[in-house]
């Protein structure tokens, strides 16, 4: 493959090199968290974490494990930079993101360290394109302090059932209300839109419910405008974990299978909109 020869040209200086035979295994995951221009990249020997934030109320993280890449070389314990995500995606799909069987765009992504651009070598059908994207010093991502020990309620659902719920709920509602309880209604999604109030209930023994762990009744509201970006990840995913902690913060973790059947994760954290009095 032509890209393999690129590794001989100055590759010794790179602090990060990541190669994929199919660029869609990266671009699809990045599309699932694209709702702001800039993204924070943090690479460790375990893989790549990409973070996008909005107004300190919403954070999305995409995790691409090192094993997903055909080559993943990192020369430091941690490598971080900030890049324009819209520009990066434009470059990754420069060949049109072909879905034709047997036709894939290969990627070799290289980073030389602080102050250097992110260099992309993209190859399809013997044609190689080189893109260089300016990088910035990464900002420190917000720590939502969402830890598993403080999780009060958790359910794991088949993504299809959540897609169905979103199609039936009134998306003109300013908020999505989530009720999780050890007793009925167990897991309820509610909206309050132009056409009135709507509820979507899941029995805890539903075929679509893979796990139901609720320790107390909790009702929280999140702004619909903050949740809408996460529907991109929902569309790609096959399972979703919905968790709330004792402060009412929401975690949505999506399990996504790429074109090669490998598993990646996308996680959204959302601040509660307001306290809701429990009935």
Per-residue model confidence as pLDDT tens for the chain (279 residues): 445 444 444 456 899 999 999 999 999 999 999 999 999 999 999 999 999 998 888 999 999 999 999 999 999 999 999 999 999 999 999 887 666 666 789 999 999 999 999 999 999 989 999 999 999 999 888 888 788 888 999 999 999 999 888 888 888 899 999 999 999 889 999 999 888 898 999 988 888 899 999 999 999 999 988 888 899 999 999 999 999 998 889 999 999 998 888 899 999 999 888 655 444
> Does residue 64 form part of some domain?
yes
> Of the residues 108, 133, 158, which one is the last residue of a structural domain?
133
Which pLDDT does position 144 carry in this prediction? Answer: 82
45 shares its domain with 128: yes
Q: How far is CA 209 from CA 103, 157, 234, 244, in A?
A: 37, 5, 16, 16
Q: Are residues 264 and 165 in the same domain?
A: yes
| Residues 105-135: tens digit of each pLDDT | 999 999 999 999 999 999 998 999 999 999 9
Residue 92 within any structural domain of the chain: yes
Is 155 found in the same domain as 124? Answer: no
pLDDT at 10: 47
- Residue 110: give its domain's CATH number: 3.70.10.10
Whether residue 259 sits in one domain with residue 159? yes
- For 266, the domain range is 148-270
Is 82 inside any structural domain?
yes
Q: Partners of 193 in the beta sheet?
A: 196
Q: What's the pLDDT at 99?
A: 63
Residues in the chain: 279
Q: Report d(CA 97, CA 154) in Å as an integer.
A: 36
Separation of alpha carbons 121 and 4, rounded Å: 10
* Contact assessment for residue 159 and residue 237, using Cβ atoms and an 8 Å cutoff: yes
Residue 4 domain flag: no
**Are residues 48 and 129 located together in one domain of the fold?**
yes
- CA–CA separation, 261 and 263 (whole Å): 7
Domain end (from 133, 164, 185): 133
Query: Which residue in 13, 15, 28, 12 sits closest to 107, CA to CA?
Result: 28
Answer whether 0.85 is exceeded by the pTM: yes
Residue 139 lies in a domain: no
Cα separation, 226 vs 240, in Å, equals 17
Residue 2 counted as domain residue: no
Asked whether residue 176 falls in the same domain as residue 205, the answer is yes
82, 98, 133 — which closes off a domain?
A: 133
Sort residue 20 into left (φ over 0), alpha (ψ -120 to 50) or beta. beta
Q: What pLDDT sits at residue 7? A: 44
Give the strands of the sheet with 135-136, arranged side by side: 135-136, 79-84, 38-44, 47-54, 58-65, 263-270, 250-257, 237-245, 151-158, 209-214
Q: What are the CA-CA distances from residue 24 to residues 13, 68, 92, 194, 259 (Å)?
A: 27, 12, 8, 39, 7
Task: Tell me what pLDDT residue 247 has.
Answer: 87
Instruction: Tell me if 102 is assigned to some domain.
Output: yes
Are residues 120 and 169 both part of a single domain? no
Query: Does one domain contain both 128 and 163?
Result: no
Beta partners for 109? 18, 120
User: How much is the pLDDT for 273?
Assistant: 83
* 278 part of a folded domain: no
Question: What pLDDT sits at residue 8?
Answer: 42
Which token pair is 249? 């913060």
37 and 91 housed in the same domain: yes
> Quick check: 91 and 131 in contact, CB under 8 A?
yes
User: Do 158 and 260 belong to one domain?
Assistant: yes
Q: Are residues 160 and 99 in the same domain?
A: no
Q: Cα-Cα-Cα-Cα dihedral of 159, 161, 162, 168, to 10°?
A: 150
Structural domain tally of the chain? Answer: 2
178 and 207, same structural domain?
yes
């Amino acid at each position: 493959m032509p890209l393999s020869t690129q590794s001989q040209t100055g590759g010794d200086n790179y602090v990060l090199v990541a190669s994929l035979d199919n660029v869609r295994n990266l671009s699809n995951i990045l599309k699932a968290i694209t709702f702001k221009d800039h993204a924070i990249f943090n690479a460790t020997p375990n893989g790549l974490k990409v973070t996008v934030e909005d107004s300190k109320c919403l954070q999305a993280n995409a995790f691409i494990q090192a094993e997903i890449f055909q080559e993943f070389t990192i020369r430091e314990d941690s490598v971080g930079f900030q890049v324009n995500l819209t520009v990066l995606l434009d470059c990754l799909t420069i060949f049109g993101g072909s879905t034709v069987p047997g036709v894939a765009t290969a990627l070799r992504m290289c980073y030389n360290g602080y102050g250097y651009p992110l260099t992309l070598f993209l190859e399809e059908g013997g044609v190689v394109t080189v893109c260089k994207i300016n990088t910035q010093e990464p900002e420190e991502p917000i720590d939502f302090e969402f830890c598993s020990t403080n999780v009060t309620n958790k359910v794991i659902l088949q993504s299809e059932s959540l897609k169905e719920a979103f199609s039936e709920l009134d998306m003109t509602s300013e908020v999505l209300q989530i009720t999780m309880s050890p007793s009925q209604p167990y897991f309820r999604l509610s909206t309050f839109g132009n056409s009135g109030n709507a509820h979507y209930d899941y029995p805890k023994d539903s075929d679509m419910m893979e796990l139901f762990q609720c320790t107390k009744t909790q009702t929280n509201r999140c702004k619909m405008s903050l949740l809408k970006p996460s529907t991109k990840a929902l569309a790609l995913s096959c399972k979703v974990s919905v968790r709330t902690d004792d402060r009412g913060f929401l975690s949505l973790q999506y399990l996504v299978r790429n074109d090669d059947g490998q598993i990646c994760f996308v996680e959204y954290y959302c601040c509660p909109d307001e306290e809701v009095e429990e009935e």
